Amino acid sequence: MDRPSALTKLGLGVLVFNSALAVYNSWGDAGSVLFVLAADAALLLLFLCLREFERVGRERGRNIKVAVWMLTTLLTGMFASKVAPLMPPVVAALVWVMAVATAAGGFWAFFLSP
């Protein structure tokens, strides 16, 4: 397997630093700390899936595409669930509509489009 590039290492370093800072600032709020850790786990799994998809190619990557779509849908839902309660009701509804449209568009792009 190829070694990670410098840009990949830099991105991972920024993610770790940002997550550590978020956990530090959220310490005492178990829900927020859990949210940060779950989002990080999903992002890391997503990066690993994308790397594996590049390695095996399009023909053999069907199961990986399913995992990528599920992880991106999970992350979209997680972030919408954090943003929507902070917005006025009409804007919150728009946030959820956009989240659903994003998930549906990803499904269409991955599995239904030619």
So where are the chain's domains?
6-112
Q: pTM score, two decimals?
A: 0.84
Residue 5 has pLDDT above 90, yes or no: no
C-alpha 41 chain-centroid distance: 9
Q: pLDDT tens for residues 40-80?
A: 999 999 999 988 888 887 777 788 999 999 999 999 999 99
Q: Residue holding tokens 């920024």?
A: 14
pLDDT tens digits along 76-87: 999 999 999 999
Q: Residue 105: CA atoms inside 13 Å, Cβ hemisphere, count?
A: 7
